[in-house]
Structure 1
Amino acid sequence: MAIIKSLSFIVFLAIMPSFNVAHTHDCYYDEPTEHVEYICDGPIGEHFNQRTYKILYCHNYDSEIHRSAIKSLGFRNCLISEMTSTSVNLWDFDSLRVLNISYFGFKTLPDYLLRDNIQLERFIVSHNRLTEVPVILFDTTPEITEVDFSFNEFNQIYPLLFDNTRKLRVANFSFNMIDMVKAPAFSNLRELETLDLSSNNIDAVNSDLFAYNKKLKTLNLNDNQVKRLDCEFLATLAENDALDIFINTLEEVQTTCDSGEKHFDLDIVVSPKESSTRLHVSDGQFKWIFSEIEFIKLRRLSLSNGQIKSSIEIIDDDINIDESNLIMWQLNAIEYLLAFMVLILIFVCVFFIAATCSRNRNYNKNLSIFSVEQSLMRNDNNQYQKIKSQQFC
């Protein structure tokens, strides 16, 4: 009997690790959204690959969870610098719609990462150390509608990356090191509605960069180095139904624009409710909307003739901005004219004063000479009378 008990205990010890592996996955399951949050607590590697089989058992859920039923997958407290075949195994996630692999510390991603997730719609890989991603990353995900590459180290956006993402509506590349965006980068994204390029090093925007993005509604260029928007760039946006461009680094703004056969008049609206400068485009109409602070910081405002009174619209009575503010700008075209007129007036006044002073000096000089001549004439007359008197005698 004792031998039997001993053998039973040994068998229990043998199967206990397998039982633990099958029932102690470090994850939490949200049934309404079919989302699984996997807890790494450090490096992940083989840990995730070997312990997440086709069936998962999460801490907060009594029933088994099939991989094929999971629609959203995220990770917490994971830290690896390089993804390998054993890092994150996404096989058998046939229904996966959302994948969030943020805060991993990734420097690169493998080509095959998403090859088995053809239903994927949202891909979030923010807060990593990516400098580039494979151009074929999305080749097997034609249903994707949103990508988030924010808070990485990209210095450019490769055009081929979005060759197979024609349904993409939202793209976030904020807080990277992008200094150049080539024109073909977004040419295939005909459904693109929101593009965030804020907090990069972009200093110029190509005129045809968004020529094919007619559904673009929000473009965020805040905290870059773009100082002005050219007429050619505005011309490509005229056909958009409704578009807001956020840009808080402008130093030069023009309210009239001629580009080939197209002419645009841009109205100006000042509002304290705005957090930054915004260019609103609607059915070929352009409107600059400024916050009070950004409006005052402008270095150049180019106004067309007769637009001073009609172009400035104050939409809040608490803002104390009038036409005198425009005159204070150093490079305003109207200021040039006024300054030129003042200079002419000053020149005329100085010339008149100088001429008057010169005449006064000449008059005093002539007066002195005349006095001397009169004195000499009196002396000569007295001498003549004296000589004549002597001769008479």
Structure 2
Amino acid sequence: MTPELSWLPSWLSFGLMALPVAFALGWLASRLDWRQLRLEDRRNPRAYFRGLNFLLNEQQDQAIDAFIEAVQNDPDTSELHFALGNLFRRRGDYERAVRVHQHLLSRGDLSETEHQRAQHALALDYLKAGLLDHAENALLKLEGTPFQTQARLARLANHERARDWAQAAAIARSLDNARDLGAGGTSAGTQLAGSFAPRLAHYLCEQAAERLASRNVEGAQELLLRAIDTAPQAPRPRIDLARLQMQRGQASDNETVRREAASQACETLSAALDASPAAAPLIAAPLVKAAQACGQEASVQARLRALYEQAPSLDLLEALIALHAPVPDAAPGDASKPENLRGWYLRHLRHEPSLAAASKWLAGEKLEHEEERPLVQRALDRAAQPLLRYRCAACGFEAKQHFWQCPGCQSWDSYPARRVEEL
């Protein structure tokens, strides 16, 4: 017998009838939500991989558009923000890169690691944009993080660029201490290798040059002596000190004082040869001047000849000729004559195929067609000029003079003491 429902209230009857409808609507809504989620999941990876494909094809503008689409579809994904910010920086759009990384830093859901990463990325944005004050503040916030060493190296480069040698020295010492203690030796992929002592010596030499420019000779000498103590093997402090000693002697009218100053310079440069024989081509010319000023030509000549026999170079060759060094195996009575002194060039050519040496030897020889000498000599000199330059081992920048810091890549001690022809 079917029970009657007429006794139930009307609202309850309606509710029982609506249950199946509500269930059906809920099921339909869930199906639509899952479909929407699957659609978004398909769309996000598609935009992401499309951006990667553009990157591989070096199409940065299209890659940025694809990553913007991916970020809009999934604004909570930090990796997409990092990728987008780095792309803006690489393209030179530093303002937008800063905005992206500042947005990441303002988020409260970032982990500590991602927050530090965003802080480092923001510092790089400021560095690339040339906003050094903002970069300094951003880099200081990375102290005590895995990015500490990278941040200190970036700050070091900033202070070098600004020629703030005292601040640069403080940071270099902190890097040296961290390396010695084993802390910060590896941070965010940066491995410190070697000591910063040679660079600290360069900073002291730069400060000495500034004091010398302001006529503080005593202060400059004190800094150069500190530089020698800091990096005993570095040639620059002794070369700069010898130059200062020669200048002090030349400023005096007393011949005895001048000879004593030249003798001091000679002693300083001889110590430089002992500490750094590889720098002999740079030391030879000032050593010859000092030796000629104090009458020590014979001892210096013997020293330079021994170095030349071990490692021939154009600068040592010129120094020996300037000292009127007799050519080995030359006739005893004619050893100091110009034609025999030019025999050094022939002797050099037997060991080194040098166009510069050949040009200088030919300048004193008689040609069959002597009237054509100027044309031949000019052609040889022009061809030899590029070979007499110095070349940076880090970036290949060439210069007529030797630099302790490359003007191109800012690397220290990247210029060999030898010229391009001898490399």
Q: TM-score, normalised by structure 2?
A: 0.28
More helix by share: 2
Q: Which has the higher contact order (CA 8 A, sep 6+)?
A: 1
Structure with greater Cα Rg? 1
Q: TM-score, normalised by structure 1?
A: 0.30
More strand by share: 1
